[in-house]
Each structure stands twice: as C-alpha cells, then as structure tokens.
Amino acid sequence: MRKSAAKLFLPVALTLLTTATTAWPARPNTSEDMSVLAQTPPMGWNSWDAWGQTINEAQFRETATWFHNHLQTYGWQYLVIDEGWFAQHPESPAGQQDYTLDGNGRYWPALDRFPSAAKHKGFAPLAFWVHSVGLKFGIHIVRGIPRGAVEQNLRIAHSHYRAGEAADTSDTCAWNSDNYGVRDNRAGQAWYDSVFRLYASWGVDFVKVDCISSPWHGAEIAMIHRAIQRSGRPMVLSLSPGPTPLAHAQAAAANAEMWRISDDMWDLWSKPAGTPQFPQALRNQFPVIAAWQSWAAPGHWPDADMLPFGYLGPHPGWGKPRQSRFTHDEVRTMMTLWAIARAPLFIGTNLLRMDAFTDNTLTNTEVIAVDQFSQDNHPVVQTPEKAVWMAEAPEHGGDYIALFNLSDKPQTVTATWEQLGIVYGKCQVRDLWRRKEIGYDNQVSAALAPHASALFQAQHP
C-alpha cells in the first residue's frame, strides 16, 4: 500500500513543483559573504509553535508555498520541520508514537506523514523541492542515539562500531527520554558522523539540536560540529534550549551559528519573580538579550527564540490552539527588540491562517534591515520600566534608535543625541514602523502605551 501511495505521490509533487516554480516570484538579490555561513542572522519559519510534532508533508508543502509567495522576497529563507517528524502517531502519548528508524538506528521520516520519504529517499525529495524554489530546508533533532538503536545494538553506518559502544545509558534528556546520550569516544563520533552524513545526503541546510545547551553538553556539541564539517555539506547548527551558560559563550560561537539564550519563548508579556524558567516571557528577555549582545557577529548569533505571533495552532508546542496572546504593541516590541539586537528571526505562526497585522509586521523591510545590516548594537538604558537601544545604520549613514516602554502604564520615552553619543546637530529622523519622515531633531521621543515601542532612524547630515 505504501509503495503504491508513493508512486501516486511523486507525479503530483512534480506537478506542484512545476506550477510553483513558474508562479512564484524571483529570488531577491543578496550580497552575503558566502565564505561565512549565517553571515547575517538567519530568517525563517519553524513548525513548532503552530503544529507541535504533528505537521505532515501536505501541510508543510502548503506552508512552504505560502512562505515562498509572500515572504521570500523580504529575506525569509529557512523552512524547519521541528520535533517528531519520525513519529507515526505524533498525537499519541509518549511511548505510543511508533518511531521510525533505518537499519542503522537513525531516525527516518514517518512514511504515513511524509510519503515522499519512501524508497530510501528520506527528506531528499522534500529538500529538493524546497531548494528548487530558492529556499533552505531544516529539521529538528534531540541530541543522542535512539533507545531502539541501542536495544538492538545496531551497527553504526559507515563504521565497525555498534550503538551500544556509542551510547551513554546513564545520560538521558530531562524532558525527553527517547534517546541516550553519546559517549565522547570514537564510536560516539562515528554515530554523529553517520547521522550528519545522512542529513547531508538529504540536502539539509539547518539542524536544530535540542536538549544540548542547557545544561551544556560541550563534548556532544563538539562532536556534532566535527560531524557537520565531515559531512561535506554546510549546515547551520542551532543549539537549544537555553539558557546557554554565558560562561560557554566562546565554545558556542566556535561550534554553532545559533544558540538559545533562554528557555522556550512563548506569548507571555511577564511572569512573577521566582516562577520556573519555562516558558520565558517577553519582558524577561530584555536583560538576557543585553547580556549576550557582545557575542552577536557574522557566523554566530545568540538566539532569543521564535516569534510566537499570529495563530498558534492547530497543535501548538505549548498550550491550546489560540491567536497569540500578545497585543499588537507587544508584537511590535518583540520584533523591534529582536531587530535592534540582531537576533535570528524565526516565525512560529501558522502561515495558512495569516492575519493582516502579522503579515505587515513580518514584511516591513525597514525593520528587517535593522536586524540584517545594523552594527554596534547595544542597550543605552535598561531599567525595569524602560529601555533604549541603538545601533549604527551603515547603509544609511546614521543610527537606529529603539525606545521601549516596559511598564504597565503609558509613558513618554526620550533619548537625546547627547545621551546617545551622536555628535551631529539636528538629524533627519524617520519612524520605521510608520514608514514616514518626522523631520529634523536632536532627539527622538515617543508617547508609548504600556508594553509599546518605537523604532527610528537618524540620518547624519
């Protein structure tokens, strides 16, 4: 039955591909330095916030089509399938999801959900389809080696080692016990080499590795980094979840292009002091992002997590299906902070239920330019009630200034050129969210509602 389904699927896929390629807009021109992977903060979409573990191939293709039609020309590039793509029954309780492994113990796309993965192709057909329209393809994994591979003591591909020699059975993830940890030995390296060699053969461009940065698993991170280098294919490595210990910042930057700096970020403005780290709230991110700012640079980006905007459903990774709890002001505040801090931008929304406000937020080219091209980004003021950030705007010969009202009451936030260290007199000021010039001045000021923000560009004379 699966064989016949696969035969029927491929012609349909080719038809969709031909139609999409001719109908979708051309790729935008870029000037990235291709010698450095993730020269600018990666921008993309991840399935977790809307679909949890449940997304299937048809839903992914429809999402990718929308993404390509509406977002790619604004710089959005990566499409990432998050946790559980190997589960045949992802909505069942833990232990009843029926994971799919190949003969060497590596997770394989569940064929009932990803039919193009049949006949030993894995995600290669889906990645090829994504690449053919100018986008990049990513997946999520949890660190380690599957219990099933260890229980059967399967041979590790392209080696003489077996799974039992690579596995550390005393080490499991605190919130997902599906895998054992991997020993820092030759068998362990052979395991990760085999995994990333497989992903390279599929055409994977981005791998989010979970349960690895908090607590910090330095040996496994180094093995994964080596495995990617040996695979022969560039892949962005994203470490998750946080908080990544700041003491390991240098190792994070040396081994990965992205690493999470907090626990999972969801649609909450604030949380009482002393509550658990999960989930992280937006207001709490301000000091966290500020602490990591000096490490943001081409090739390595502190990751403040996904943007839980718009509709989060039908099966969000946390909570019930819902329209994001964030107000419009809070959405713009989050997008402004991520942009002025040059954080990676990954959308969590269900793109197939896009609303006009979220669409406009994600397609503001002037705000995206702050995230992609600004320099010397740093906070100038950071208090519990307000924050002021600034950055150079090299492409415009000026500065970007972001004002934030972090309080629960309206307030006017002002930053003068003297406070900001701008030595010019009056400058032409532009409001980037309103996309309009507001005249010459020697300061920026905004009357902000609770949790609201403003983002300006000051062009030097």
Q: CA-to-CA distance for 141 and 81, rounded, in angstroms?
A: 10
Contact criterion met (CB below 8 Å) for 321 and 312? yes
Place of tokens 């038809």: 15
Does 125 lie in the same domain as 103? yes
Could you tell me which of 383, 382, 369 has the C-alpha nearest to residue 340? 369
Question: What does the pLDDT look like over 285-341, one tens digit per residue?
Answer: 999 999 999 999 999 999 999 999 999 999 999 999 999 999 999 999 999 999 999
In the 8-state DSSP scheme, what is residue 251?
H
Could you tell me which of 260, 157, 160, 268 has the C-alpha nearest to residue 211? 260
Residue 34 lies in a domain: no
Contact criterion met (CB below 8 Å) for 96 and 384? no
Of the given ranges (35-44, 227-236, 370-379, 401-410), which has the lowest mean pLDDT?
A: 35-44
Does 98 lie in the same domain as 239? yes
Does 389 lie in the same domain as 365? no
Residue 216 lies in a domain: yes
Contact criterion met (CB below 8 Å) for 397 and 422? no
| Residue 17: predicted pLDDT | 34
Distances (CA, A) of 112 to 16, 53, 342: 20, 14, 39
Does 338 lie in the same domain as 385? no
Does 300 lie in the same domain as 429? no
- Looking only at the bridges linking them, the beta strands covering 386-393 and 398-405 are antiparallel
Residue 33 lies in a domain: no
Q: Which of 373, 405, 431 is the last residue of a domain?
A: 373
Confidence at 120, pLDDT banded by 50, 70, 90: confident
Distances (CA, A) of 384 to 31, 326, 379, 455: 39, 19, 13, 19
Question: What does the pLDDT look like over 328-381, one tens digit per residue?
Answer: 999 999 999 999 999 999 999 999 999 999 999 999 999 999 999 999 999 999
CA Rg value for the chain = 23
Q: CA-to-CA distance for 225 and 237, rounded, in angstroms?
A: 8
Does 224 lie in the same domain as 134? yes
N-to-C CA span, the chain: 70
Statement: residue 34 has pLDDT above 70: no
Q: What CATH number is attached to the domain comprising 454?
A: 2.60.40.1180
- Looking only at the bridges linking them, the beta strands covering 258-260 and 301-303 are parallel
Who wins on pLDDT, 95 or 47? 47
Does 64 lie in the same domain as 45? yes
Q: CA-to-CA distance for 364 and 358, rounded, in angstroms?
A: 10
Q: Which of 333, 350, 373 is the last residue of a domain?
A: 373
Does 331 lie in the same domain as 434? no
Domain assignment of residue 91, given as a range? 2-28+39-373
Does 387 lie in the same domain as 358? no
Question: What does the pLDDT look like over 69-80, one tens digit per residue?
Answer: 999 999 999 999
Q: Which of 373, 401, 430 is the last residue of a domain?
A: 373
Regarding pTM above 0.85, the answer is yes
- Element of type H or E holding 308: none
Q: What CATH number is attached to the domain comprising 255?
A: 3.20.20.70
| Residue 3: predicted pLDDT | 31
Residue 244 lies in a domain: yes
Residue 334: half-sphere exposure toward Cβ, Cα within 13 Å? 31
Does 262 lie in the same domain as 405? no
| Residue 431: predicted pLDDT | 98
Distances (CA, A) of 369 to 190, 271, 308, 344, 363: 41, 31, 21, 13, 11
Residue 14 lies in a domain: yes
| Number of independent structural domains in the chain | 2
Contact criterion met (CB below 8 Å) for 302 and 294? no
Residue 269 lies in a domain: yes
Does 444 lie in the same domain as 355? no
| Residue 408: predicted pLDDT | 98
Does 238 lie in the same domain as 129? yes
Statement: residue 1 has pLDDT above 70: no
Statement: residue 437 has pLDDT above 80: yes
Q: CA-to-CA distance for 19 and 22, rounded, in angstroms?
A: 6
Statement: residue 30 has pLDDT above 90: no
